[in-house]
């Protein structure tokens, strides 16, 4: 079996996290922003798996199960909110939702 160095694995996880971060900061569609948050959570889970494999402990795998459960709850709540916003405003673009901004400042 080929062993990949830990720093290469962590580099992959950091690249995935940065892709998710760029997606959250640049994309204006709420669905794409939600997908980018999922990529960031998966990158964090990958770091836990890498750490658990490096130190030969199952703690990383337990944390990934928790992250997956949290991500599932986040998707359920996020998609419900997106459906309500789309029902009211007929768009999921963040820039078009001017009605939600506070204009009294």
Rounded Cα–Cα distance for residues 56 and 58 (Å): 7
Give residue 104's pLDDT band: very low, low, confident or very high (50, 70, 90): low
What would the mean pLDDT of 55-74 be, rounded to a whole number? 95
Compute the average pLDDT of residues 54-72: 95
Mean pLDDT, residues 23-36: 94
What are the CA-CA distances from residue 7 to residues 17, 39, 93 (Å)?
Answer: 15, 20, 38
User: For 13-90, CATH number?
Assistant: 1.10.287.3510
Task: Say what angle helices 6-26 and 30-54 make with each other, to 10 degrees.
Answer: 170
pTM reported for the whole predicted model: 0.87
Of the candidates 44, 50, 51, the residue with the CA atom closest to the CA atom of residue 68:
44
CB proximity list for 9: less than 8 A, separation 6 or greater? 46, 50
């Amino acid at each position: 079996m080929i062993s990949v160095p830990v720093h290469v694995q962590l580099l992959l996880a950091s690249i995935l996290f940065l892709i998710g971060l760029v997606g959250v900061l640049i994309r204006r569609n709420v669905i794409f922003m939600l997908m980018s948050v999922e990529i960031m959570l998966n990158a964090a889970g990958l770091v836990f798996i890498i750490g658990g494999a490096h130190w030969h402990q199952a703690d990383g795998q337990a944390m990934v199960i928790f992250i997956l459960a949290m991500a599932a709850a986040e998707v359920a709540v996020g998609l419900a909110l997106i459906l309500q916003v789309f029902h009211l405003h007929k768009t999921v673009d963040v820039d078009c939702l001017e009605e939600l901004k506070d204009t009294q400042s």
